[in-house]
Amino acid sequence: MATRNGGLTGLFRKLVGDGPDNTRRAVEKTDAQWRDALTPDKYRVLRDAGTERPFTNEDVHPDADGMYRCGGCNAALFRADTKFDSGSGWPSFYEAEENNVELRRDFSMGMPRTEVVCKACGGHLGHVFNDGPRPTGKRYCINGCALAGD
């Protein structure tokens, strides 16, 4: 299986997207360490930029501080009061914790999109679209298994 930094996925990203992620991260683990730390579903989404099926993990709850966190490294990503029901089948938020996510160009589905990545560990979270509610007009469409809460 190819990972986000190598194999076919890495080559594809290099050719049509932002290229391999060579950024130094606050949380760095080997591929073997990530596989040991994550469930197979979380690994596929967070490390291989997969997408879970819609309506499978919408019912993720925030932690006691009202925060949705990265399922890979526990970084704070979204405040509970920014979550809304988009009807898409994935948890949706209109605002991210700006210092804890990064946005990257993504052409992996043959169309331009903006990928949302955890800044601390580089884990793939989902995508952001410009069809969300006020006040931002953004819809962060996030894989539920990429999130940790209570």
Question: Which residues are known to be catalytic?
Answer: 141
Residue 63 structure tokens? 């932690």
What values do phi and psi take at 83, rounded to 5?
-80, 140
Q: CA 55 to CA 66: how far, in whole Å?
A: 22
Contacts 24+ apart (CB under 8 A), 31-37: 31/3, 34/72, 37/72
Angle, CA of 80, 73 and 1, to the nearest 5°: 115
C-alpha distances out from residue 106 to 12, 71, 142, Å: 10, 21, 15
